[in-house]
Chain A
């Protein structure tokens, strides 16, 4: 959950300023006036301490094979390490590929997903893994649900429908901090998980699984209003939001047109927005992405 604070935020001390304040006299609010004076070298590009460790010797892109391997193996995905070990190597690799960014990211991930989809053993392992995850392993659960949508068949439908039907805990505004907009983001995570379940059901339905389509129809009547609307959108996307389905929604007071909107008009940044195009700092042109060949060889 993001938040924003106006001038009252000046009373919050930051990590860097904390040390400076403590070195001097402790005065309430006094830290806001402390001026950080980093060493001059910090202003020199590159900042010496922020160098990539593998490049401290000056070698360009000199990431060693051992370092690359360590980066890929020592840092396990964001779920319980014990549960992770129960996954098959193929599923582990697919989850890691899920985070790729770059020219080949999509094709490589799609290939891994296609292999999982063809293998019933892998899909069973995926379901078993999900069953063993603690409810608070949100990142892992989300990854499993999203992958289930890409590889799943009728066997995955009950789990996804159950997830979509999970009641969302209400957020009581009075329980929030009065200064910053502190949020119990576990509710946000649950909400996103439910959204992912509906998307997953839709993706399975798009591959012709009748059970997934029927689940979406049930959500129109059984899901809460948020889920019913989202199921309606997916059925509209599938071209299967007919009169019967609409009547279920209308009976619940959901009277939207479920018509597709013009994308560019809907998602346009209004340039007349306050300061929207006023640059606070000079715009610095970003570098171009590395040539694929350069980076792909870095760890080999």
Chain B
């Protein structure tokens, strides 16, 4: 087990404790964190921890070494147990599940073809934090807009999601970064991160929100991803139906069947 301890002195930590978010604490990498990541990276089909991909993601999503060191993976970008490699694997799923040559043309109906490029253009920088420090509690990701824009990824993102859902989460956060905060407050069944409706999910304007972007992306993933496995697609399916069931104040009345077809249910 590796323990990540952030760099601050005990003396300062004591005086600054009131300032520290829960993320600024020690967190521990799970002893058995795989979730198929080793095969997303290695063994013939993966991205092979290629420097070409690392360079692209590092620049396009504006990773900073200071946000990914101290055990988060900057020193070992190929270590699938660490947050950085697991983020790279999620980005590979986001960009390369339906095609080997993704594009930046967002006029294409098939979102999976351009979701990676669009996400990179919207997210100002991608950072890592402990968050809850647990795989299945607390936020998975968080996007801040203002004077300083950034997107943070937390433990549930790294260790609680398969790569297919990690990719969709990046796309979800990119919608936030584009200027769209959830407008449903706590009014949905999951009690937070709620879009008001399927077509109206932004605080800033009446337009599709992050949940709808995520649902749309995953639906296209289910329909067109072929450089993936049925297991990763089924993980995406159970997640997208959960968002449709519990992520809207007004039920969008859509559910996906086991073969990815949308049905009207209201």
Contacts and interface: CB of A to CB of B under 8 A. Distances in A.
A19 B238 contact: no
Nearest to B130: A15
Interface string A82-123: 001000000000011111111111101110010000000000
A104 B44 contact: yes
Nearest to A232: B265
Contacts of A289: 47, 96, 100-101, 227
Interface centre among A14, A26, A95 (most CB of B within 10 A): A14
Contacts of A78: 30, 32-35, 135, 159
Interface string A138-155: 110011001101100000
Nearest to A55: B51
B193 interface: yes
B24 A287 contact: no
B54 A51 contact: yes
Contacts of B237: 195, 199
Contacts of A147: 231
A105 B116 contact: no
A138 B263 CA distance: 27
Contacts of A232: 265
B36 A96 contact: yes
A22 B16 contact: yes
B44 A256 contact: no
B192 A234 contact: no
A53 B139 CA distance: 30
Contacts of A3: 139, 141-143, 182, 192-193
Nearest to B181: A4
B191 A176 contact: yes
Contacts of B185: 173
B235 A142 contact: yes
Given A1-B139, A46-B58, A101-B228, A191 B34 contact: no
A52 B159 CA distance: 21
A5 B74 CA distance: 26
Nearest to A12: B21
B97 interface: yes
Chain B's interface size range is 35 or more
Interface in B1-47: 6-9, 12, 15-16, 19-21, 23-24, 30-47
Nearest to B180: A274
B207 A274 contact: yes
A150 B128 CA distance: 35
Contact of B173 (A2, A45, A80): A2
Nearest to B185: A173
B32 A4 contact: no
A183 to B, nearest CB: 5
Given A229-B265, A295-B45, A100 B36 contact: yes
Given A15-B23, A284-B56, A100 B120 contact: no
Contacts of A124: none
Interface string A118-139: 0000000000000000001011
Given A6-B181, A96-B38, A295-B48, A101 B97 contact: yes
Interface string B237-253: 11101100110000001
Contacts of A49: 65, 69, 74-75
A274 B266 contact: no
A226 interface: yes
B160 A185 contact: yes
Contact of B78 (A53, A104, A260, A261): A53
B210 interface: yes
Contacts of B136: 136, 138, 185-186, 189
Interface string B43-66: 111111111111110111011111
Interface centre among A1, A72, A142, A298 (most CB of B within 10 A): A1
Which 9 A-B residue pairings sit nearest by Cβ, starting from the closest? A99-B36, A102-B45, A171-B191, A173-B186, A181-B192, A9-B144, A98-B231, A273-B207, A296-B44
Given A26-B15, A230-B241, A277-B106, 20 more contacts: A1-B138, A2-B172, A5-B143, A16-B67, A42-B64, A71-B41, A80-B32, A100-B45, A101-B96, A103-B227, A142-B238, A150-B231, A183-B193, A193-B238, A195-B242, A258-B264, A269-B216, A273-B180, A284-B56, A284-B104
Interface of A: 1-7, 9-10, 12-16, 18-19, 22, 26, 28, 32, 36, 38, 42, 45-47, 49-55, 60-61, 63, 67-68, 71-72, 75-81, 84, 95-106, 108-110, 113, 136, 138-139, 142-143, 146-147, 149-150, 171-173, 175-176, 180-189, 191-193, 195-196, 199, 202-203, 206, 226, 229-230, 232-234, 236-237, 254-261, 263-264, 266-290, 292, 294-296, 298-299
